[in-house]
Amino acid sequence: MTIDMKPDVQIDTNYYKVMGIRQLTEHAFVLSLPKSRFRFVAGQHVSLSIPGDYQSREYSIYSAEDGENLEVLVKEVDGGYFSPKLKHLKVGDMVEVHGPFGKFGLDEKNLNTHKHVFIASGTGLAPFHSMVKSNPELDYQVIHGVRYTSEAYEKDHYDKKRFLLCTSRDPKGDYEGRLTEYLKKADFDKNTCFYLCGNSDMIFDSMEILREKGFERENINVEVYF
């Protein structure tokens, strides 16, 4: 009797099928994929590409460490090459995911002794969403800087008493003005860990403000987007 031996089928675990695209604003959306096949720490990022395309981009993971789906928060860049392609993906399309990468995350040594203040501009909110969802007992505050109230991405996912929105072109935020202007006026407990994520100008300005308030660099964690 002859037994037909077929080779084992090799499945590339880096490929994920798009489960959905959750539109948050005209330009911002959450790309939802199946549950992560790798372990990651809230705050890390992945490299995302479309099969057959030569470019890739890095995005902070938006979902919780044990989330039912692997999600990233994307803002379509006007005139950009990659983000519009992600926006036009359909359910069932494939994307390639590599990672996780990076060491941005909660300060474990001060996890239960300090307040954790997340300072974000725009989609820099993404890693903080993952941190909050992954650590439901965390003592935190989110300070989110945007232009318009509509850009407060899924603010209902946070304790409303712990989320402060700074709007630079809209009087409907919790604070009308730039995020850095709010920081200058704000008082923080000495036992505070800060986490900054977003554009470089906001981060450098915020670091200087916090330094002037007496906070050491060792208690300021940074992830620069651009």
The predicted model scores a pTM of 0.93
Band the pLDDT of 224: cuts 50, 70, 90: confident
Rounded CA gap, 146 and 179, in Å?
8
Rounded CA gap, 50 and 109, in Å?
38
Residue pair 136/158 in contact by the 8 Å Cβ criterion: no
| Span 63-112, pLDDT tens digits | 999 999 999 999 998 888 999 999 999 999 999 999 999 999 999 999 99
Residue pair 67/38 in contact by the 8 Å Cβ criterion: no
| Span 47-64, pLDDT tens digits | 999 999 989 999 999 999
The H or E element that residue 132 is part of is helix 126-134
Beta strands in the chain (DSSP E): 15-17, 20-23, 28-34, 45-49, 56-60, 69-75, 94-101, 115-121, 140-146, 163-167, 175-176, 192-198, 220-224
